[in-house]
Amino acid sequence: MSRPTIYDVARESGFSIKTVSRVINEAPNVRKETVDRVRAAIELLQYHPDPAAQRLGGGKLPTIGVLVDSIDDPFFAQVVAVIEARAMDVGMDVLVASTGMDETRLRMQIQRLARRGVAGLVVAPFGEPEHVSAALPDDVPVVVIDRRCGVTDKDVVRVTDEQGATDAVRHLVARGHRRIGFLGKTSAFNTLEDRYTGYEKALAEAGIEVDARLVETRAWTADEAYPYALAMLATADAPTAVFAASPMMGLGVLRAQQRLHRQDVALVIFGDYPVAELMTPPTTVIDQRPSALADTAFDLLARRIQDPAAEVLDTVLPTLLVPRGSGELAPRADS
């Protein structure tokens, strides 16, 4: 059973989250009847405020900023939701903004959030390392999430991209596949470069040479990936399996499979996505565990705000292979 949150207390007491937060933080001018009802709900639910959030709040209920690629991205939507829940647990505000994967917009959004007086920032950076480093402020605590982009002087939390990709391709090799395609724009992020390195590593371990005809590194969106995947799967020597380096790449592959009626091609996608379990067959993924990433980012930000001189940490979390069916298909007998 999950730990009760401030949302549960608000629902049980019948008051808003802001009112519950005022009671928890012993704010003045709150009516006795309100305090009694909120405390009764807290006791009933056995609710305990988040210690890390309390340290971050320091009783002042500050605002923190979260800057991600896009709030439409399922991965970052979950990251934002977890950070917001942790912050709201003690009534803190969260300002969410997006970079649109544009260096200029990254800088402008950071400046905008800083002008709003945020107590700290969680940032998914984008761009060349020198531009990212120049954009990140020195006078506001910052935690960099998902990718480093050359950042070395800020706390970072990311996942084992190379190892996750290696696990994905090993999984396909173990099922007899030797013609394994790769889709992912490696020039976009170091994370995707690491995933391609993992792809190469797993093939090399199995004594399989990389076939350039099965590698596509120009696509970024699902719409861009679709024609490349369509061309790759329509050839006489099509791959029997594909490793998609991001959910967007994976969606492009799935569209191509449906167009060609090629559900016999094994598929593993780096990153989970909504309805993955409802596909036919359900999609096997490398889970980036966005909730764990967000929890760690929040804890690091609380630590950094509390102790600005603390040691800079680069935290790398493991990924998890989730087999659901699409990655477990064996090659056809005529392949």
Domain with residue 23: its CATH number is 1.10.260.40
Say if 216 falls within a structural domain: yes
Closest by Cα among 209, 217, 205, 224 to 243: 217
* pLDDT the model gives residue 52: 58
* pLDDT the model gives residue 59: 47
Say if 279 falls within a structural domain: yes
Which CATH number characterizes residue 150's domain? 3.40.50.2300
269, containing H or E segment = strand 266-270
What single DSSP character describes residue 318? P
Same domain, 16 and 134: no
Same domain, 196 and 276: yes
Say if 235 falls within a structural domain: yes
* pLDDT the model gives residue 85: 86
Residue carrying structure tokens 């509390």:
306
Same domain, 273 and 170: yes
* pLDDT the model gives residue 255: 96
The predicted model scores a pTM of 0.81
Quote the domain boundaries for residue 14.
6-49
Same domain, 215 and 240: yes
Structural tokens at position 231:
């061309």
Closest by Cα among 174, 127, 119 to 148: 127
Sheet holding 320-322, edge to edge: 215-216, 180-183, 241-244, 266-270, 284-287, 320-322
- Dist CA 100 CA 113 (whole Å): 16
Same domain, 283 and 168: yes
Same domain, 264 and 312: no
* pLDDT the model gives residue 91: 66
Closest by Cα among 319, 247, 246 to 276: 247
**Do 130 and 205 meet the contact criterion of CB atoms below 8 Å apart?**
no
Say if 334 falls within a structural domain: no
Say if 55 falls within a structural domain: no
**Do 238 and 265 meet the contact criterion of CB atoms below 8 Å apart?**
yes
Same domain, 45 and 87: no
Rounded to the nearest 10 degrees, how much is the dihedral formed by the CA atoms of 43, 45, 49, 50?
150
Same domain, 295 and 150: yes
Same domain, 263 and 283: yes
Task: Name the domain count of the chain.
Answer: 3
Residue by residue, pLDDT tens for the chain (335 residues) are: 567 777 788 889 998 767 887 788 777 788 999 999 999 999 998 888 766 555 555 544 578 999 999 988 889 999 999 999 888 876 678 999 999 989 999 999 999 999 988 999 999 998 888 999 999 999 999 999 999 998 999 999 999 999 999 999 999 999 999 999 999 987 767 899 999 999 999 999 999 999 999 999 998 889 999 999 999 999 989 999 999 999 999 999 999 999 999 999 999 999 998 899 988 899 999 999 999 999 999 999 988 988 889 999 999 999 999 999 999 999 987 76
The answer to whether the peptide bond before residue 281 is cis (omega within 30 degrees of 0) is yes
Say if 17 falls within a structural domain: yes
Say if 54 falls within a structural domain: no
Same domain, 203 and 229: yes
* pLDDT the model gives residue 19: 82
Closest by Cα among 322, 324, 248, 306 to 119: 306
Say if 333 falls within a structural domain: no
Same domain, 222 and 252: yes
**Do 124 and 146 meet the contact criterion of CB atoms below 8 Å apart?**
yes
Same domain, 87 and 36: no
- Dist CA 2 CA 213 (whole Å): 48
Alpha helices in the chain (DSSP H): 6-13, 17-24, 32-45, 51-57, 74-88, 103-115, 129-135, 161-173, 190-205, 222-234, 247-260, 290-306
